[in-house]
Amino acid sequence: MRLLSTKASLRTVLGGALAAGALAALALPALGVVHLRADPLGGGFREAGPCDVPAFGPGMPAFDGTMARLVAGALLSAQETALGITPDQMEAWRAYTGALIAFIPTGERVGRWTDRKTREEAAAFDLVDDITSSAIERAEKAKTLQAAADALKAKLTPGQLDMVKQMQSRLVERVVRFVEWRRGEGWGTPL
């Protein structure tokens, strides 16, 4: 007997995953978890205290690779449950999720350029070398992700593929609304 429709189940699972990710993002600094944060003008990385949480707005960091990986992991775990990944699909699923999380940039290469001393010690064309090396690494990771996605598509049932399509559509809608909001183009509908 089905207690909830597929659409309602999907909303419940994804909503719970988003709420868990948001709760983790807000709770870790409040609980006193110490983290490192780049200080682009002051000279490298510094330890941040429990109350040293950036405000939303122009001063907010553009990207936090660790948080992005945490949120992606939570969403992928919820998606695994919602899709009903079976044991015979697990190897392809794990290859896909691992490749997807590996594809998310870490921001580590920026550290060299935010530290005044290492920035001053950089040789000619070091920036170009870092940028091109990063692009080549990302291209390799993209190829791995694409192959993993193709292998997973071959393992999923038509019903699971349809559910992935629905999830993808909702995710894209939310990302577009978030981008519009960040640009100041209006809220549209609530996230």
> For residue 3, what are its two tokens?
């207690």
Helices (H) and strands (E) in the chain, counts: 7, 2
Whether the predicted pLDDT of 79 surpasses 70: yes
Give the CA radius of gyration of the chain.
Answer: 20
pLDDT, tens digit (0-9, with 9 covering 90-100), for 100-113? 999 988 777 777 78
Three-state DSSP class for residue 185: coil
Residues above pLDDT 90, as percent of the chain: 36
Which pLDDT tens digit goes with each residue over 18-28? 444 443 443 33
Query: For 30, what's the count of Cα atoms within 13 Å in the CB-facing half-sphere?
Result: 6
Q: What is the mean pLDDT of residues 152-179?
A: 92
- Supply φ then ψ for residue 22, to 5 degrees: -65, -40
Task: Using pLDDT thresholds of 50, 70 and 90, give the confidence band for residue 161.
Answer: very high
Q: SS3 for 53?
A: coil
Q: How far apart are CA 59 and CA 101, in angstroms?
A: 26
Specify which residues 45 forms β-bridges with. 38
Helix axes 6-30, 65-83, angle to 10 degrees: 150
State the pLDDT at residue 15.
52
- Which tens digit of pLDDT belongs to each residue from 27-40? 333 333 333 344 44
Which one, of 131, 178, 170, lies nearest residue 10 by Cα? Answer: 170
Please, what's the b/e burial string for 82-100 (b: 16 or more CB within 10 A of its CB; e: otherwise)?
bbebeeebeebbebbbebb
More confident residue, 151 or 11: 151
Q: What residues are paired with 38 via a beta bridge?
A: 45
Is pLDDT larger for residue 57 or for residue 121?
Answer: 121
Mean pLDDT, the chain, whole residue set: 74
pLDDT of residue 186: 60
